[in-house]
Amino acid sequence: MPDPVLLIHGGAWSIPDDMVEAHLNGVHNALAAGWRMLARGGAALDAVEEAVVIMEDDETFDAGRGSFLNRDGKVQLDALIMDGSTLRAGGVGCVERLRNPVRAARKILSDSPHVYFVAEGAERFAAEHGIPLCRNEDLIIPREVERLRGFQARAADANVDLFAPTISHDTVGAVALDGSGNISAATSTGGTLNKAPGRLGDSSLIGCGCYADNQTAAASTTGWGEPIMKLVLAKWAADHVATGSLPEWVAAEAINYLKDRVNGHGGMILLDALGRFGIAHNTPRMAWALKTSKHESYGIERKN
């Protein structure tokens, strides 16, 4: 029986000094929730869902309540969850009335023959499957109203394009290996600040922001979504693990490839079914947390 592993990230960017503690607390709480599932013999799929729910509920992160606002001042959320043992996946995109989009994604994975729902159709599916809808205003916090206002004012003054892919990336994600030898991944995001309404990033796209296959690896990414999408980066990394390369090396190579090929930036967590893992980012910081039965660690600074 493999020893379970849980690995979490809480976004890759220049996390300011005064937000470091909140990020580390957030990944710590998520790690505890996910680990509770694994420790009692639960599935990797349940562990990544629970870990991501904790971070969606934490206003520190760009997921669930407290997410960045789009150009219209609304929260629009994307999430994906994937089971590496069956390759079943569930994704939602551009949802505005779900506190925990990963819960809806999980319902799609479990209860639907489809893989992906967007906007009102996703919300309707969630409501029909017992997930309560909230108002979009319930997801908006004053900090983000201020942030959007400030950004739009600066952009108007400078007469630049009103899109902020490079400012901050607080998407959350988790990958896990359970005691049955199965791996899973989940990723959830509010996307990028001031994004155009209807813009979908990489996070909830299968193989881009999230992927899991027992035969290769489980991956969750964060960062500037458009370059990550162009490279289908999570699947790229999983496929490289399948060729025999170590996840530690592959995660670093994936981020190098992102930079070299499309000038992207971001971070990745990667885990294979043997419990070998990789953590990499080319942003100054990425909050992450790792737990096995023998070891627990956290990090935020780039090492090189």
Minimum gap (Å) between residue 147 Cβ and ligand ASP = 14
Q: Which is nearer to ligand ASP, 211 or 224 (CB)?
A: 224
CA 247, 287, 303, 192 torsion-angle sign: positive
Radius of gyration for the chain, computed over Cα atoms and rounded to the nearest angstrom:
17
Sheet holding 218-223, edge to edge: 210-212, 218-223, 266-271, 277-281
Contact (Cβ atoms closer than 8 angstroms) between residue 126 and residue 110? no
Strand intervals (E) in the chain:
5-13, 77-83, 89-95, 116-118, 172-177, 183-189, 210-212, 218-223, 266-271, 277-281, 285-291, 296-301
| 216 carries an active-site annotation | no
The nearest distance, CB 47 to ligand ASP, in angstroms, is: 21
How near is the Cβ of 243 to ligand ASP at its closest, in Å?
Answer: 26
Q: Of 34 and 225, which CB lies nearer to ligand ASP in the complex structure?
A: 225
Q: Which of 134, 171, 133 is nearest to 52 (CA)?
A: 171
Q: Which of 60, 86, 166, 171 does the annotation list as catalytic?
A: 171
Of the two residues 4 and 278, which places its CB atom closer to ligand ASP in the complex? 278
Smaller CB distance to ligand ASP: residue 106 or 281?
281
State the alpha helices, DSSP H only, in 40-118.
44-57, 101-111
284-to-14, 27, 46, 234, 304 alpha-carbon distances in Å? 5, 17, 31, 21, 10
Q: Return d(Cα 217, Cα 71) in angstroms, integer.
A: 36
Report the alpha-carbon angle 193-120-140, nearest 5: 35
Q: How many other C-beta atoms can be found within 10 angstroms of the C-beta atom of residue 236? A: 19
CB atoms within 10 A of CB 40: 9
Residue whose CB is less far from ligand ASP, 100 or 171: 171
Is 42 or 190 the residue whose CB approaches ligand ASP more closely? 190
For the bound state, the minimum distance from the C-beta of residue 209 to ligand ASP, rounded and expressed in Å, comes to 6
User: Shortest distance, CB of residue 269 to ligand ASP, whole angstroms?
Assistant: 12
- Least distance from ligand ASP to the Cβ atom of residue 213, Å: 21
Distance in angstroms (rounded) separating the CA atoms of residues 304 and 294: 26
Cα separation, 249 vs 263, whole angstroms: 20
Residues engaged in binding ligand ASP (CB under 6 A): 11, 62, 169-171, 189, 191-192, 201-203, 209, 222-225
**Is the Cβ–Cβ distance between 65 and 36 less than 8 Å?**
no
* Residues carrying an active site annotation: 171
